[in-house]
Amino acid sequence: MEKRRLGNSDLYVNPVGLGCMGFSHASGDPTEKDLAVRTLREAADMGYDFFDTAEAYTGVNPDGKISYNEELVGEAVKGIRDKVVIATKMGVSHNPDRSLKLDSSPETIRKSVEGSLKKLGTDYIDLYYQHRIDPKVEPETVAETMAQLIKEGKIRYWGISETTEEYLRRANAICPVTAIENRYSMMARWHETIFPVCEELHVAYVAFSPMANGFLTGKYTPDTKFEGSQDYRADMPQYTKEGYAKAKDLLEMLTKMAEEKHATMGQLSLAWMINKKPYIIPIPGSRKPERLRENFEAGNIILTKEEIAAVDAKLDTMSFDVFGGHSAK
């Protein structure tokens, strides 16, 4: 499995990273701390070397205490810190109705980075993202602050999550951006227009929700009982009867491909993007060791350019209802 370079940085990671969010946020009740740390460490032993977390990834434990995702990741990589790349994010908090509160002011960035360093138990962050664009703060201001943090040694590189081309270009002109982290999957392709910009600026594309919040594994249906009020998937459009029906052809295509490649549907959905561009790094998440191993092995699956083009041609004929703000091809 050949490692991939994050932008123009000196960070090299395996082609499948680990989205750690689900251990404490949006996927039901948080995983018990010792189990979460043990599973994350097991993931590192499998070969995962790129761990993605965020300040905003929190949940409420059954005892009422807050589960901080960054703390779980920090505990899991003790003793192997120099062998892994940690990405975390700032600028987002959650309102009671799950809506996002955005704040990327320089003061908040500085307060957040100190909090993240403490929770992670480290003195530097490899890749520090602006979690969402804050319309109240210019990209140049964010980039200037990140440049200062790099100079101070608190972060090594920086990135932007859910960015636009204009925002990326403006920010990059002030302080080079190493990676963007945008939604991307077979069902969510609207950011493909930014690929040429990534190539021009030498920016990595870290793909979150690469399996459409689990949908492309084929393991979930509209009848699935998700894990209570802290599991956001129950409200996602792809899990309604209408949304599921729209994706029927895609699931059938994946099923057939998986049989031909002796792989799982989830692995094929990851391999499709890994083989499409050398700078795309998906970060699927799971709390199950067997699923973590399955996802990681997607990095060994080879799809030809012709196979990828054939998949894309079929996807172009399909329309989906999917979480993320778009209901289209």
Q: Annotated active-site positions, please?
A: 57
* Parallel/antiparallel/unpaired status of strands 204-208 and 280-282: parallel
Q: How is residue 29 written in tokens?
A: 């009740």
Q: Which two tokens stand for residue 301?
A: 């699956």
Q: What is the DSSP letter of 64?
A: S
**To which residue do tokens 């440049």 refer?**
147
For the residues of 172-229, what is the DSSP string, one character each?
HHHS---EEEEE-BTTB-GGGGGHHHHHHHT-EEEEESTTTTTGGGT---TT----ST
Give the Cα separation of 168 and 172 in Å (integer).
6
Rounded to 10 degrees, the C-alpha dihedral 23/26/29/33 comes to 20
User: Residue 87 forms beta bridges with which residues?
Assistant: 52, 127
Instruction: Please check whether residue 281 is in contact with residue 205, taking contact to mean a CB–CB distance below 8 angstroms.
Output: yes
Nearest partner of 213 among 241, 238, 192, judged by Cα: 238
